[in-house]
Structure 1
Amino acid sequence: MASQVPIEKVRNIGISAHIDSGKTTLSERILFYTGRIHEIHEVRGKDGVGAKMDSMDLEREKGITIQSAATYAMWGEYNINLIDTPGHVDFTIEVERALRVLDGAILVLCSVSGVQSQSITVDRQMKRYKVPRIAFVNKMDRAGANYQRVAAQLKEKLNHHPVRLQLPIGAEDRFQGLVDLIQMKAFYFDGESGENIREEEIPAELLEQAKADRQEMIEKVAEVDDALGELFLSDSPISNEQITAAVRRATISLKMTPVMCGSAYKNKGVQLLLNAICAYLPNPSEVTNEALDQKNNEAKVVLESTPDKPFVGLAFKLEDGRYGQLTYMRVYQGKVSKGDFIVNQANQKKVKVPRIVRMHSNEMNDINEGYAGDIIALFGVECASGDTFTDGTVQYTMTSMFVPDAVISLAVAPKNRDAQANFSKALNRFTKEDPTFRVNRDEESGQTIIKGMGELHLEIYIERMKREYNCEVVAGKPQVAYRETISQRGEFAYTHKKQTGGSGQFARVCGYVEPLPSDAVQQYEFVDDIVGGSIPREFIPACDKGFAEAVKKGSLIGFPVVGIRVVINDGAFHAVDSSEMAFKTAAIMGFREGYAAAKPIILEPMMKVEVQAPEDFQGSVVGQINQRRGTILESGTAEGYVTVVAEVPLNTMFGYSTDLRSATQGKGEFTMEFAKYSPVPRNEAEALMAAYKEKLAAEQAARK
Structure 2
Amino acid sequence: MTHPELGKIRNFGIISHIDAGKTTVSERILFYTGAIHKMGEVHDGLAVMDWMEQEQQRGITITATATTCSWLGHTFNLIDTPGHIDFTIEVERSLRALDGAVAIFSAVEGVQPQSESVWRQAARYQVPRICLINKMDRIGADYQQVLTDISEKLQATPVLLQLPVGSEENFRGVIDLVNEQTITFSADDQGKTVSTDRIPAELQEQVAAAREKLLEAAADFDDSILNDILEGNAIDSQRLLAALRNGVIRGEIFPVLLGSALRNKGIQPLLDMICALLPSPLDTPPAPAVRLDTREKVALPTDPDRSLCALAFKVIADEGRKLTYLRIYSGRLKPGENVYNSRTEGVEKVARLFRMHAHKRERIDLAEAGDIVAATGLKNVLTGDTISAAAEPLQLRGLEYPEPVVSLAVEAKTVEDRDKLPLALEKLQWEDPTFRVKEDPETGQTLLTGMGELHLEVIVQRLHTDFGVAVVTGRPQVVYRETILTAARQKEIFERDIDGKLHYGAVTLEVTPTARKSGLDIVVAEERLAPWPPLLADLIRQKLAAACQSGPAAGYPLTDLRLTIIELPYESNKTTDLGIFAAISRAVPQALSKGKPTLLEPVMALELVAPSDYTGRVMSSLNQKRGQVEGIVSRPGQDVIRATVPLLEMFGYMTELRSATKGQGSFTMEFSHFAQAPPETLKTFGLPR
Q: Which amino acid aligns with 2:666?
A: E
The farther-off stretch of 233-242 and 60-69 is 233-242
Measured against aligned partners, the alpha-carbon deviations of 1:467-519 in whole angstroms (never above 9, x if no partner) come to 111211111222212122222234668899999xx999999988754324557
In structure 1, how many angstroms separate the alpha carbons of the residues matched to 2:74 and 2:678? 58
Counterparts in 2 of 1:523 and 1:666: CA distance versus 1, 3 Å? farther
Secondary structure of the residue aligned to 1:4 is coil
Corresponding residue for 1:111? Answer: 107
**Structure of higher CA gyration radius:** 1
Q: Does residue 437 in structure 1 map to residue 435 in structure 2?
A: yes
Secondary structure of the residue aligned to 1:423 is helix
Secondary structure of the residue aligned to 1:689 is coil
Partners of 1:345 and 1:395 within 8 A in 2: yes
Counterparts in 2 of 1:579 and 1:42: CA distance versus 1, 3 Å? closer
Q: Does residue 459 in structure 1 map to residue 457 in structure 2?
A: yes
Counterparts in 2 of 1:57 and 1:584: CA distance versus 1, 3 Å? closer
Counterparts in 2 of 1:597 and 1:67: CA distance versus 1, 3 Å? closer
In structure 2, how many angstroms separate the alpha carbons of the residues matched to 1:309 and 1:514? 49
Q: Which amino acid aligns with 2:118?
A: V
In structure 1, how many angstroms separate the alpha carbons of the residues matched to 2:543 and 2:396? 35
Sequence identity of aligned pairs in percent? 39
Secondary structure of the residue aligned to 1:80 is strand
Secondary structure of the residue aligned to 1:82 is strand
Secondary structure of the residue aligned to 2:336 is coil
Counterparts in 2 of 1:507 and 1:286: CA distance versus 1, 3 Å? closer
Corresponding residue for 1:96? Answer: 92
Equivalent in 681, 685, 691 of residue 678 of structure 2: 681
Counterparts in 2 of 1:488 and 1:26: CA distance versus 1, 3 Å? same
Partners of 2:301 and 2:329 within 8 A in 1: yes
Counterparts in 2 of 1:525 and 1:446: CA distance versus 1, 3 Å? farther
Counterparts in 2 of 1:668 and 1:237: CA distance versus 1, 3 Å? same
The farther-off stretch of 586-595 and 447-456 is 586-595
Corresponding residue for 1:136? Answer: 132
Secondary structure of the residue aligned to 2:42 is coil
Q: Which amino acid aligns with 1:75?
A: W
In structure 2, how many angstroms separate the alpha carbons of the residues matched to 1:345 and 1:588? 29
Equivalent in 144, 148, 153 of residue 148 of structure 1: 144
In structure 2, how many angstroms separate the alpha carbons of the residues matched to 1:178 and 1:282? 25
Corresponding residue for 1:702? Answer: none
Corresponding residue for 1:629? Answer: 626
In structure 2, how many angstroms separate the alpha carbons of the residues matched to 1:315 and 1:60? 27
In structure 2, how many angstroms separate the alpha carbons of the residues matched to 1:542 and 1:371? 37
Corresponding residue for 2:83? Answer: 87
Corresponding residue for 1:65? Answer: 61
* Superposed counterparts of 1:255-654, under 5 Å: 255-295=252-292, 297-322=294-319, 324-382=321-379, 383-490=381-488, 513-516=511-514, 520=518, 522-525=520-523, 552-565=549-562, 595=592, 597-654=594-651
Equivalent in 195, 200, 204 of residue 201 of structure 2: 204
Count of residue pairs brought into register by the alignment = 676
CA offset at residue 220 of structure 1?
2.5
Q: TM-score, normalised by structure 1?
A: 0.88
Partners of 1:290 and 1:300 within 8 A in 2: no
Counterparts in 2 of 1:192 and 1:650: CA distance versus 1, 3 Å? same
CA offset at residue 429 of structure 1?
0.5
Gaps of 5+ in 1: 531-538, 694-704
Counterparts in 2 of 1:227 and 1:660: CA distance versus 1, 3 Å? farther
In structure 2, how many angstroms separate the alpha carbons of the residues matched to 1:331 and 1:456? 33
Measured against aligned partners, the alpha-carbon deviations of 1:224-247 in whole angstroms (never above 9, x if no partner) come to 544433433454432222211111
Secondary structure of the residue aligned to 1:430 is helix
Partners of 1:549 and 1:588 within 8 A in 2: no
In structure 1, how many angstroms separate the alpha carbons of the residues matched to 2:386 and 2:490? 47
In structure 2, how many angstroms separate the alpha carbons of the residues matched to 1:94 and 1:546? 30
Partners of 1:225 and 1:250 within 8 A in 2: no
CA offset at residue 440 of structure 1?
1.4
Secondary structure of the residue aligned to 1:44 is helix
In structure 1, how many angstroms separate the alpha carbons of the residues matched to 2:101 and 2:142? 22
Partners of 1:227 and 1:246 within 8 A in 2: no
In structure 1, how many angstroms separate the alpha carbons of the residues matched to 2:362 and 2:641? 47
Partners of 1:163 and 1:221 within 8 A in 2: no
Partners of 1:542 and 1:583 within 8 A in 2: no
In structure 1, how many angstroms separate the alpha carbons of the residues matched to 2:543 and 2:191? 68
Counterparts in 2 of 1:178 and 1:683: CA distance versus 1, 3 Å? same
Q: Which amino acid aligns with 1:9?
A: K
Counterparts in 2 of 1:687 and 1:212: CA distance versus 1, 3 Å? same
In structure 2, how many angstroms separate the alpha carbons of the residues matched to 1:542 and 1:187? 63
Partners of 2:410 and 2:474 within 8 A in 1: yes
In structure 1, how many angstroms separate the alpha carbons of the residues matched to 2:239 and 2:580? 73
CA offset at residue 262 of structure 1?
0.4
CA offset at residue 103 of structure 1?
0.8
Secondary structure of the residue aligned to 2:466 is helix
RMSD: 3.4
Counterparts in 2 of 1:513 and 1:323: CA distance versus 1, 3 Å? closer
CA offset at residue 149 of structure 1?
1.4
Counterparts in 2 of 1:436 and 1:494: CA distance versus 1, 3 Å? closer
Secondary structure of the residue aligned to 2:179 is coil
In structure 2, how many angstroms separate the alpha carbons of the residues matched to 1:567 and 1:352? 44
Corresponding residue for 1:5? Answer: 4
CA offset at residue 297 of structure 1?
5.0
CA offset at residue 380 of structure 1?
2.1
Q: Which amino acid aligns with 2:225?
A: L
